[in-house]
Amino acid sequence: MDTIKRRPTFKIDKNTLSGVVAIGFTLLMLVLVALDAKDGKRFSQIVAGGLYQGMLIFMVAAGLSIVFGLMDVLNFAQGSLLMIGAYVGFEILSSLSTDTKTNAVLLSIHVVAFTPIATTLLIEIAMIPLYRFVPKLAEAGRPSSHLLAKMTASALIGTPLGLLLGSTVADNLGSSADTMRVIGAVVVTALASVDMVRDPLLFGIKWFINEISTRFQIGLAIIQGRQAPPIETLEYKPSSASDKAVLGAILLSTFMAMLLNTTETTALRFGIAAIAAVFAGTLAGIIMETVFIRPTYVRPFFQIVLTFGIALVIREVIIYRYGIATQGNLTAYLPRGLAGTFPPHFLHGLFPNLETTIFNYWIFMIIMGLLMMVGVQVLLMRTRIGIIIRAGVQDSEMVESLGVNVRLVFTAVFALGAGIAAMGGIISAGFISVDPVMGDLFLLQAIAVVIIGGLGSYAGTSLAAIIVGLTRSSAGYFSRQQFNTDGLAPIAVLVLLCIVLLVKPSGLFGKEH
Amino acid sequence: MSEPILEVKDIHTFIGQFHILEGVNVTVQRGEITVLLGRNGAGKTTTLRSIMGLANVRSGEIRFKGREIRQMRPFKVARLGIGYVPEYRAIFRDLTVEENLKIAEREAGDLARRLDFIYSLFPDLQRLRKLGGAQLSGGQQQMLAVARALVAENELLLIDEPSEGLAPVIIEQLMAAIRQLSAHTTVLLVEQNFHMASQLADRFVIIEEGRSVLSGPMSDLVGNDAVISKYLGAA
């Protein structure tokens, strides 16, 4: 008989313990802040401030973490990619002047890009119940996509045509923006009316519209996973009934353009700058990986020196071009007359209703960061490329042996990380100061985040970014109170780093080898 | 006799500075199971890695279906129709069973086409499909590793030491599966377990200190205790 009682052992595994310690540290800081501030306004400000800082750091750390996990490369130039995003965005913003012509072009882009998308969404959403309950309709094909294709193509022509004609007239005659819009609409309407009577007049334009819409329809069919319509059925036949729809769509897109305020293009300017920034960052990432890092996969030490060197070069180029002085956020850099165009108007001011000192822009940064965080998580967990990345983190040689071009995946992942960092750059440029050392500061914080989260763990990086952000802002609060400076914030992060490393050297979600 | 599916002629492979293979010849006939035999460290695994393009083969010829594949990158070798099951059950531990299979797809729909066949060979995997790779037993992991190589339409499978560290019951199951799948594909096997090798293989190649020293039909070797003890230790 076995009567010996086993003494119960209290053994918490290190994963849980490290998590408890790290989150506990941050919560403790926040509690201290709450006790000290005794003020809901102040407290919510510090939490929101911490979250936005965490999100910005996350945008550098995300690429750092995935790239390290997959390729064992610690990219010391990741912060420079953020800087590239900020400065490229700045170049674009300062090149878009505010005269009526530029505004008209911007508005055209806006309408062309958004009107058809919004229309499609509305039509497709409206059709969902119809298709579900009337299966025969679905079999008969979807008229909505046909109409949509025509509308897209029409908007491509109608909007710029109307707006540019209008703005030219307005510039020459000195009329107001409102007059310009009316004139644009009148010109398009006149053209359309004439065409109703005399068919051949707009034949060239309609042929062009048909060419575009044919391709658009086939592309849409492929995206939706349907059989693409045979190309012969889509051939252009003069005076077919759909031409009337095309003219209608041209008119519609012009009127849509009229409904929008032509002078309020700041959101669009920001969008264009962000796209350019992400594009530049991604391109820089691709060049970095293929030209510089690829030859050094067999020499890990070289990579560190090399990426560090790249970071120095990028910093010096920026100093050469823009000078070394810190000048606050990008608004201060913009040429006279453009200063009001960034950040976008809808992000100005304080977050309403709460009567706090939370800026709208903070909320924007937090939302963008969360979108990236969730987006990459979905990419990793739900897509084929995600499966490949997660498998590659463990054994990239085996992935290659299954027929996957791992080198290409490496480049893609590097580019993805670079794109996210560049996005972080243009976003941060709207609020924090842009200068040639911002890359280095972000890099240090991001490295701390990646180590706290556990090298190579994306979930760890996400959590650690939030923890670090909150730690920074609460430490910053005390630091400002006691010493009138933010200096303690980075030190608190290092303290947190040390504590986590003492409890679990591989980080919160890291695997112990 | 038909043209061999794989011909390895006098390959010399290096790992770093070390000259590991110093002239290995292997011929694999279509539809057969060929086994590489030899002591630990003789160069059997390196031979498979050389075929896959995972090792630095400095000279010699490797032909798959008549085409030179030496110096091709591994993913291209794989896409020609070679499946690789490395030793130590190299499945992806952080992926589920299903994801482990999914990643081996070369074209969308591969897995759906082959899933019935795979589950008929390894019924356990169907039950375990949602589990993480790390939660599987050693035998289940090995079955998954073999199953993964079956997802794409591979004409040749390279299987490295499938029986290593597994219980005899599991080895029996695995042998049955390999015998069954060899009706569809050609197999080049590395196996230390002579019993298993003799039961499965049609032909053998013995590798000794980086050289292929003896080859022939398996029936020549079975019962030839002198050769077996000379090259493989006690039979």
DSSP letters, A326-385, are --SSGGGTSPTTTGGGSS-GGG-SBPTTTTSS-BHHHHHHHHHHHHHHHHHHHHHHHSHH
334-373 in A: which are within 8 Å (CB) of B? Answer: none
Beta strands at B186-190 and B33-37: parallel, antiparallel or unpaired: parallel
Task: Order across the sheet with B186-190: list the strands.
Answer: B82-85, B156-160, B186-190, B33-37, B203-208, B211-217
- Residues A399, A450 within the same domain: yes
CA B72 to chain centre: 19
Cβ separation A391–B92 shorter than 8 A: yes
Backbone Cα Rg of chain B: 17
The answer to whether residue B126 sits within a structural domain is no
First to last CA, chain A: 41
- Tokens encoding A135: 């299966």
| Listed residues A198, A224, A259: the one ending a domain | A259
**Whether the Cβ atoms of residue A461 and residue A506 lie closer than 8 Å to each other:** no
Residue of B nearest to A405 (CA): B75
For residue B100, being part of any structural domain is answered with: no
Q: Which has the higher per-residue pLDDT, A228 or A107?
A: A107
Residue A9 forms part of a structural domain: no
Are the beta carbons of A473 and A46 closer than 8 angstroms? yes
Of B54, B99, B152, the CB nearest to A397: B54
- A404 inside 8 A of chain B by CB: yes
Which residues of chain B neighbour A407 with C-beta distances below 8 Å? 73
Query: In Å, how far is A380's CA from the nearest CA of chain B?
Result: 11
Total domains present in chain A: 2
| Chain segment A3-23, per-residue pLDDT in tens | 555 555 556 677 777 777 888
Q: What is the pLDDT of residues A314-348, one digit of tens each?
A: 999 988 888 776 555 566 666 666 766 777 776 77
Match 């090995």 to its residue by tokens. B142
Tokens of A50: 């911490």
| The pLDDT value given to residue A176 | 57
Residue A51 pLDDT > 80, yes or no? Answer: yes
Domain membership flag for residue B65:
yes
Q: Could you report the per-residue pLDDT of B163-216, keeping only the tens digit for each? A: 888 888 888 888 888 888 888 889 998 988 888 888 888 898 988 888 888 888
Q: Backbone dihedral region of A421: left (phi > 0), alpha (psi from -120 to 50 degrees) or beta? A: alpha
Q: Which residues of B touch A399 (CB under 8 A)?
A: 103
A496 and A380 in a common domain: yes
A26 and A135 in a single domain? The answer is no
Residues whose CB is less than 8 angstroms from the CB of residue B214 and which lie 6 or more positions away in sequence, other chains included? B204, B205, B206, B227, B231
**Phi, psi angle pair for A487, to nearest 5°:** -50, -30
Q: Which residues contact A210 (CB under 8 A, 6 or more apart)?
A: A153, A234, A235, A236
Are both A372 and A448 inside the same structural domain? yes
Same domain, residue pair A132 and A281: no
The secondary structure element, H or E, covering residue B43 is: none
Give the one of A387, A400, A405 whose C-beta lies nearest to B102's C-beta.
Answer: A387
User: Is residue A480 a part of any domain in this protein?
Assistant: yes
* H or E segment to which residue A202 belongs: none
CB-based contact, A388 to chain B, within 8 Å: yes
**Which pair of structure tokens corresponds to residue A126?**
């409206």
Q: Which of B49, B51, B89, B99 should one mutate to test binding to chain A, selecting the residue with the greatest count of A CBs within 10 A?
A: B99
Q: Does residue B73 sit within a domain?
A: yes
User: Is B92 an interface residue toward A (CB < 8 Å)?
Assistant: yes
Q: Three-state DSSP class for B107?
A: coil
Q: Is residue B109 part of a domain?
A: no
Same domain, A388 and A424: yes
Residue A181 predicted with pLDDT over 60: no
Number of domains in chain B: 1
Q: Is residue A6 part of a domain?
A: no
Average of per-residue pLDDT across A450-466: 91
When the pLDDT of each residue in chain B is averaged and rounded to a whole number, the result is 87
Minimal CA–CA distance to A70: which of A308, A293, A368, A372? A293
What is the predicted pLDDT for the residue at A201? 45
Q: Identify whether the C-beta of residue B5 lies closer than 8 Å to the C-beta of residue B155.
A: yes
Question: How far, in Å, CA of A61 to CA of A67, rounded?
Answer: 10
pLDDT at A240 > cutoff 50: no
- Mark whether A274 and A254 lie in a shared domain: no
Which spans in A174-202 are helix H?
Answer: 177-197
Alpha carbons within 13 A on the beta-carbon side of B224: 14
- Contact between A82 and A262 under an 8 Å Cβ cutoff? The reply is no
In a shared domain, residues A115 and A140? yes
Q: Which amino acid is at A323?
A: G
Torsion angle (degrees, nearest 10) of CA A322, A323, A325, A331: -10
What pLDDT score does A4 carry? 55
* The residue count for chain A: 513
- Identify the three-state secondary structure at position B84: strand
Judging contacts by C-beta atoms under 8 Å, the chain A residues touching residue B107 are none
Identify the residue with better confidence: B62 or A172: B62
Query: HSE-up of A255 (CA within 13 Å, CB side)?
Result: 7
Query: Residue range A231-238: average pLDDT?
Result: 49
Q: What is the DSSP string of A109-173?
A: HHHHHHHHHHHHHHHHHHHHHHHHH-HHHHHT--HHHHHHHHHHHHHHHHHHHHHHHHHHHHHHH
Q: What percent of chain B has pLDDT over 90?
A: 20
Calculate the alpha carbon distances from A4 to A1, A7, A8 in Å: 9, 9, 12
- Provide the pLDDT for residue A443: 92
Please report the pLDDT score of residue A276 as a whole number.
92
Instruction: Give the structural domain span for B201.
Output: 6-93+154-232
Let me know if residue B125 belongs to a domain.
Answer: no
Inspect the interface and report whether the beta carbons of B104 and A402 lie closer than 8 Å: yes
Name chain A contacts of B92, Cβ cutoff 8 Å: 390-391, 394-395, 398
ipTM: 0.90
Same domain, A20 and A111: no
pLDDT at A273 over 70: yes
| CA–CA dist A422, A83 (Å, integer) | 7
- Is the CB of B74 less than 8 angstroms away from the CB of A387? no
B36: β partners? B190, B205
Please name the member of A399, A401, A406 whose beta carbon is closest to the beta carbon of B52: A401
Q: Quick one: pLDDT at residue A424?
A: 94
Please answer yes or no on whether A401 and B75 come within 8 Å at the CB atom: yes
Nearest residue in chain A measured CA to CA from B90: A398
pLDDT at position A169 over 60: no
Confidence of residue A173 (pLDDT cuts 50, 70, 90): low
How far is the C-alpha of A120 from the C-alpha of B235, rounded, in Å? 73
- B79 and A387 within 8 Å at the Cβ level: the answer is no
Per-residue pLDDT, A504:
83
Q: What is the CATH number of the domain that holds B31?
A: 3.40.50.300
For chain A, count helices (H), then strands (E): 17, 0
Q: Does residue B199 lie in a domain region?
A: yes
Distance CA B235, CA B216 (A): 18
Q: Report the alpha-carbon distance of residue A104 to residue A85 in Å, rounded.
A: 26
Dihedral class, residue A353 (left if φ above 0, else alpha if ψ from -120 to 50, else beta):
left
CB contact under 8 A, A394 and B103: no
Q: Is the predicted pLDDT of residue A65 greater than 60, yes or no?
A: yes
β-bridge partners, B83: B157
> Higher model confidence: residue B100 or residue A258?
B100
The C-alpha atoms of residue A275 and residue A88 are separated, in whole angstroms, by: 10
Q: What's the pLDDT at A481?
A: 83
Pick among A294, A394, A401 to test the B interface (most B CBs inside 10 A): A401
| CB contact set of A157 (below 8 Å; sequence gap of 6+) | A205, A208, A209, A250
Question: What's chain A's average pLDDT?
Answer: 75
Q: Is the pLDDT of residue A416 over 60?
A: yes
- Give the residue, B59 or B235, on which the prediction is more confident: B59
Residues A372 and A468 both lie in one domain: yes
For B154, name the nearest residue in chain A, comparing CA atoms only: A402
Q: Which residues of chain B does A406 touch, with a Cβ-Cβ cutoff of 8 Å?
A: 75
User: Does residue A253 have a pLDDT over 70?
Assistant: no
pLDDT at A80: 93
- Cβ of B64 under 8 Å from any chain A Cβ? no
H or E stretch including B213? strand B211-217
Task: Judge whether A3 lies within some domain.
Answer: no
pLDDT of the residue at A190 = 63
- Of A210, A240, A259, which marks where a domain is finished? A259
The verdict on residue A93 lying in a domain is: no
- pLDDT-derived band of residue A163, with 50, 70 and 90 as boundaries? low
CA B166 and chain centroid, separation:
16
CB contact under 8 A, B78 and A406: no
> What's the rounded mean pLDDT across residues B46-62?
91
- The answer to whether residue A339 sits within a structural domain is no
Residue A150 lies in a domain: yes
- Domain region containing A173: 100-259
Is the CB of residue B136 less than 8 Å from the CB of residue A420? no
Of A387, A400, A403, the CB nearest to B95: A387
Residues with Cβ within 8 Å of A407's Cβ and at least 6 positions away in sequence, in order, are: A294, B73
B9 pLDDT above the threshold of 70? yes
Residue A303 within a domain: yes
B60: pLDDT strictly greater than 60: yes
CA distances (Å), origin A422, targets A63, A88, A132, A195: 10, 9, 42, 47
Closest residue in chain A to residue B146, using alpha carbons only: A402
Q: Which of A229, A259, A289 is the last residue of a domain?
A: A259
For residue B140, being part of any structural domain is answered with no
Do A321 and A462 sit in the same domain of this protein? yes
Question: Strand pairing of B56-64 and B211-217?
Answer: unpaired
Q: Are both A171 and A253 inside the same structural domain?
A: yes
